Amino acid sequence: MADKVVTAVSAPGKMLLAGGYVVLDRAYTGLVFALSARINVLAQEIPTSEGVHLTEIVVESPQFLEAQWRYGYHLAEEDGGIKVTQLQVGTRITANPFVESTLNYVLTYMTRTSKRFHKRILKSARLTILADNDYYSHHTSSPTSSAPSIGTGRFARFPVTLSDAHKTGLGSSAALVTALTAALLTHFLIFDLNSEDGKHLLHNLAQAAHCAAQGKVGSGFDVAAAVYGSCNYRRFSPSVLSKLPEAGKPGFATKLEDVVHGMNGIQWDTMIGKADVGLPQGVAVRMCDVDCGSQTVGMVKKVLAWRAQNPEAAEKLWGELQHFNEALEDILKAGKTEDISKAIRAIRILVKEMGDESDVPIEPDSQTELLDALEEVEGVYGGVVPGAGGYDALALLVKDDEETAQRVEQFLDSWSKEKGGRVSLLGVKGEMEGIRMEDLTVYDGWVR
Ligand SMILES: Nc1ncnc2c1ncn2[C@@H]1O[C@H](COP(=O)(O)OP(=O)(O)OP(=O)(O)O)[C@@H](O)[C@H]1O
Ligand SMILES: C[C@@](O)(CCOP(=O)(O)O)CC(=O)O
């Protein structure tokens, strides 16, 4: 009889307050905050009747419609590792590349670990994903985007499929890959998530799986935040992952172990500055959802193309941005609340210049207008377009009290009415902690 042990972990979302684009080059760094919105993953065996052997992995997101992905798996030839194959559920088959990549990577890694470290044998598993409500917009402006959510609990039910849900851009895929990886590692292996070594290994494995699913485009700051929480982030050299074969292809398993353990010529050079990041007492990081999407990949390509064509101007701009980004980090760490507004304004001027030069709406005029107006609201120290920028989100540094939150909400309400569209203050706040084990009581009603 299968046991009923359930392991629960959660990983935070991310917000890149400073360092968008420059952080893609490891000569520069980013200031990333972890968010109180978390992706939770529960791992357990699937109970079977006596004599029945199941070798199936079921992953589900019970908050969404048609969100179940079932996989069989096999050992691929020529050291290709474990490869999963999606099984059909009902009449439709919808791929989830982030889930699939994570299973390929983690199951392969598990076959490479000494049996001494195995807590239980992997035959079947049910993995349940629960995302905090702020990852998705809860209102709709068109019948085809997200519909209002149901329920008032910590995890809302959405009457739509995941692909119809409207993301708020908090890094759901990175938090999901990291939490799924951690849940599998801690459920099936003797693995300490709280140790530095455990975090390092989790980071390497999750970066590799996320990068493969994403098509190797990002700097990896989102996975770093999911593991380590808020930090100053310097990316790893792209060469760390560039020689890893595709999952299932010859040599994948051995190479993956080298990558995860940083051995046989693989040297991780990621730098995580936890001690560099702080917030003045009484200051909170908040986010606004502006109901409108941006095409991050297209924007990144265009900015990098401009940089390649204008190396001298770009070098100067990147260097200045790094200088002012570090200044903001220092001000926040030193608790100098009175200097925040000025530091943010200096960054915004340079970000606007980056956008103008490369002809990319990094801080579009509509966001400039809104940020300028928000600065006038009592208790708001300043705000930026986080990450890649664009039309869909704002990050604010505000006085951490209810009155300020109410003033901001009222302001955004009247702004939305006046300008059309919908801008809202999300419930999330910046927080320091990364991956963590969770107590099962949090998931009452959701564990099967
Ligand atoms: N609750 C969930 N359950 C299952 N899969 C999810 C869930 N949330 C996100 N995903 C996976 O992550 C993908 C979204 O990843 P994507 O990188 O596009 O968004 P994001 O990480 O939230 O965005 P951003 O990088 O802009 O913050 C989904 O298509 C799905 O594969
Ligand atoms: C443009 C970039 O520097 C930041 C993208 O951030 P976001 O996905 O918009 O939060 C890309 C990256 O670092 O992966």
Q: What is the pLDDT of residues 262-309, one digit of tens each?
A: 999 999 999 999 999 999 999 999 999 997 656 666 999 999 999 999
Q: What is the pLDDT of residues 147-161, one digit of tens each?
A: 556 666 789 999 999
Ligand nearest to the CA of 210: 1
Helix (H) or strand (E) holding 196: helix 196-214
What is the atom index within ligand 1 of the atom nearest the CA of 59? 4
Residue 402 structure tokens: 């209810």
DSSP 8-state secondary structure symbol assigned to residue 163: G
Q: What is the pLDDT of residue 291?
A: 76
pLDDT bin (cut points 50, 70, 90) of residue 447 is confident
**φ and ψ at residue 377, rounded to 5 degrees:** -75, 135
Q: Crossing angle for the helix pair 252-261 and 97-112, nearest 10 degrees? A: 90
Pairwise CA distance, residues 380 & 372, whole Å:
11
Q: Which residues contact 192 (CB under 8 A, 6 or more apart)?
A: 198
Is 244:208 a contact under the CB 8 Å cutoff?
yes
Ligand 2 centre to CA of 21 (Å) is 6
pLDDT bin (cut points 50, 70, 90) of residue 91 is confident
Q: Whose CA is nearest to atom 6 of ligand 1?
A: 173
What is the atom index within ligand 2 of the atom nearest the CA of 15? 10
Q: Is 137 in the pocket of ligand 1 (CB under 6 A)?
A: no
Ligand 2 centre to CA of 390 (Å) is 11
Q: What is the pLDDT of residue 295?
A: 63
DSSP 8-state secondary structure symbol assigned to residue 84: E
> Nearest-5° angle of CA 54, CA 187, CA 194?
165
Is 135:67 a contact under the CB 8 Å cutoff?
no
pLDDT bin (cut points 50, 70, 90) of residue 141 is very low
CA distances to 66, 126, 140, 316, 365 from 56, rounded to whole Å, are: 18, 8, 36, 54, 51
Interval 421-448 mean pLDDT: 93
Alpha helices, H only, 56-158: 97-112
Ligand 2 centre to CA of 172 (Å) is 13
Domains along the sequence of the chain with CATH = 7-275+437-443 (3.30.230.10), 283-431 (3.30.70.890)
Q: What is the pLDDT of residues 340-363, one digit of tens each?
A: 999 999 999 999 999 999 999 999
| pLDDT, mean over the chain | 93
Q: What is the pLDDT of residue 202?
A: 98
pLDDT bin (cut points 50, 70, 90) of residue 144 is very low
Q: What is the pLDDT of residue 97?
A: 97
Q: What is the pLDDT of residues 325-336, one digit of tens each?
A: 999 999 999 999
Tokens 């770009």, located at residue: 314
Percent of the chain with pLDDT strictly greater than 90: 85
β-partners of residue 41 are 9, 129
pLDDT bin (cut points 50, 70, 90) of residue 247 is very high
What is the atom index within ligand 1 of the atom nearest the CA of 97? 31
Q: Which residues contact 322 (CB under 8 A, 6 or more apart)?
A: 19, 22, 28, 29
Residues enclosing ligand 2, CB less than 6 A? 16, 20-21, 23-24, 169, 218-219, 221, 296, 300, 386-388
Torsional sign, CA 255, 212, 174, 103: negative
Residue 22 structure tokens: 């420059």
Pairwise CA distance, residues 389 & 384, whole Å:
8
Pairwise CA distance, residues 69 & 54, whole Å:
16
**Model ipTM?**
0.98
**φ and ψ at residue 167, rounded to 5 degrees:** -70, 150
User: Between residues 387 and 4, which one has the greater pLDDT?
Assistant: 387
Q: What is the pLDDT of residue 2?
A: 44
Q: What is the pLDDT of residues 218-237, one digit of tens each?
A: 999 999 999 999 999 999 99
Q: What is the pLDDT of residue 318?
A: 98
Pairwise CA distance, residues 263 & 270, whole Å:
15
Ligand 1 centre to CA of 410 (Å) is 30
> Nearest-5° angle of CA 272, CA 277, CA 278?
155
Closest by alpha carbon to 226, among 360, 374, 41, 408?
41
Q: What is the pLDDT of residue 109?
A: 98
Pairwise CA distance, residues 193 & 195, whole Å:
6
pLDDT bin (cut points 50, 70, 90) of residue 1 is very low
Tokens 């993301």, located at residue: 167
pLDDT at 17 over 80: yes
pLDDT bin (cut points 50, 70, 90) of residue 50 is confident
DSSP 8-state secondary structure symbol assigned to residue 296: H
Pairwise CA distance, residues 158 & 131, whole Å:
11
One-letter identity of residue 120 = R
pLDDT bin (cut points 50, 70, 90) of residue 145 is very low
Is 176:127 a contact under the CB 8 Å cutoff?
no
Percent of the chain with pLDDT strictly greater than 70: 95
pLDDT bin (cut points 50, 70, 90) of residue 98 is very high
Closest by alpha carbon to 81, among 179, 216, 208?
208
Q: Whose CA is nearest to atom 14 of ligand 2?
A: 218
Tokens 């998705």, located at residue: 136
